Structure 1
Amino acid sequence: MIFIPLPFVETLFLLTLLLQMHRRSEDGLREHLPFALLIVAYALQSVLIGLRWGYDFYAVMPFQAVLATIIATLAFLSFNDLASENSIFRKRTTWLHCLPALTVALLRAVWPEPVGLVIILVFLGYGAALTALCLEGPDGLVSSRLDGALRSYRSLQVTAAAVLMSAAADIAISLDFSWSDGSHAGEVVAAGNVLALLALGAAASVASSGAAAPDRGETERQRAAPTPGATPEDAASTAAAVDALMRTKALYKDTELNLARLARRLQCPARSVSIAINRIHGMSVSQYVNNFRIAEACRLLSETDAPVTSIMFDAGFLSKSNFNREFLRITGTSPTLWRSRNHAALTA
């Protein structure tokens, strides 16, 4: 009977996630390229783990070391892309993130001893950077669709924790080799990596589903629009401008709306909008916009006989799970039950 290591099964799962990402996007994987590359890296690392610990194929170990640093780098770049108004591929400094992997590859060839320490430092560095993104809250992911911002943020938290835990696991393995000649290293590496890659792959898939599609109608002039006086100091006027935009333009109906796009419509920094909504309304931008969406959904549920799914899209939601979660948060009940109660009240 052929022995199939668990990491190979995990690889199939990760490739399935990749296929789902391709199918749910009009532009395929190009629309969420950083996350697609991240899942590919996870799948490849899972194969290498299976070869190493399933079949004792030691020749893959140098590739594992280099790929580990690539994974940490891609994890940060993927979420940093969600936290930026422009794609990371347009930034001149992005190439600098190739240096950790190149350093490990060079050290493996000429001086292998410090490779473990370098990998630990890379994971600690990118783990700290991901944690810093977490501190910005859901509004920090300015390019994430507002109806999926919370899910993307939870994925960011999972990824930050996993990257830091990977560094801790490497430290534990190093100590195990020092204290007991590595007698437990195999179990720690195999189990830890499989669980980590599984969680990270799912997190990357969820985060990519919340990324908004590029605003194709946006001109370069709009991108470079000057910043007016809307700053944290005049949060009230900024919040009023957002309110006016929501009520007069019904901008909340845009299913691809994100904080960056909203800020460009107001011609002010995304952070100014986030601070204004937090100070005046006491909630995140995603919650604020979703309040308008649920109000519109309630109106349609009570005044029309349209299917709930159709109303979900008309109100600005793309995900049924996000719609149901936000509807429950605001109304305390499900859309179907809310409709039955309010239709009964209207006809009474």
Structure 2
Amino acid sequence: MTVRTCAAAAAILASAGCGASSTEPTSTDTKNLPPVNARATSMKAGFGTMERLAETAKREGQLNVIGLPREWVGFGEIIDTFADKYGLKVVELEPGASSRRELDAAAALKPDVFDLTMDVAVSGADRFAPYKVQGWQDVPDDVKEPSGAWYAAYGGYMSIGYDPRAVKPPASFADLVNPGYRVALDGDPLRSAAAFDGVMAASMRSGVPEPEQGVALFGKLKQAGRLTDPSRANTIVAWDHLNAARSAHGPETWKVTIPRDAPLGGYHVQAINEAAPHPAAARLWQEFLFSDEGQNLLQKGFARPARGEAMLMKGTLDTEQAAKLPKTPGPPVLMTIPQADAAKAYLKREWTKSVG
């Protein structure tokens, strides 16, 4: 994967996604439908219609998800809507699991589906069952595996959330070293992907991550006694959907900005467990997430839906909610996997020495 600032990568943000919209089969003539195959690589090949897919999934009776906190991009409402719509029980395994933990725990916990950061998905692609949702063509080519092993559902920008009553709007990450800012990351960057990406956003120079710059900035904050935890911070570096959700609850007490010089973006991708105990339910879940309804629910959680651009063109995107997303400075920059690996190695050597 390479650094992208093209229209395809921009799909994360404005109202992401590109390509032609998909259509659902309209024939109800069962004579022309394929035999039901719960492990098929597409709805058309294994079921023929959404109705047959839903019926097959309902007979399985259950869907096991993992690593989906209910407050994360509105997954609580998404899970409840899916369960009610299709009459399925949804078992929520380890909601707080990291992407790596999702894969490590799969043999024991038996999830049907995964929600993963892209680097973890790339490394674990041989453990997934390829499946192309009906909205496949709407998902940017740069953020999907060609066979359908994994594909981005939503994305966002790393952002700075701040209390406007306490500090001035920061124009850049460099402003955070100024007096008054009490700054928090979303976890420990040696363990949390979100915190690591926060350090990387602070490290961006002309679209290229320079991890030593990010470590140096947070080192200065630590030395000044102004690097703290979120409960005591007036400024939080986190994904924009988290800061935007907080702002929605108190717009006068919390604002969000995406610095112009550091438009670091990221995607979360979906995959079906090759050993899914409920294979039809897993495929139905993916179809729901990538449907207009599912994508709009993700956007309601302040994520940026992968099919957003196509939906905007069709008139099916919730434009009122889209207008509530934090304003972006332009197309996102995505780190390459080699860049991310090099940065992780640098932080492993230097973070504790410089920041603690």
TM-score range, shorter chain: under 0.3
TM-score (norm 2): 0.25
Larger CA Rg, structure 1 vs 2: 1
TM-score (norm 1): 0.25
**By percentage of residues, which structure has more helix?**
1
**By percentage of residues, which structure has more strand?**
2
Q: Which has the higher contact order (CA 8 A, sep 6+)?
A: 2
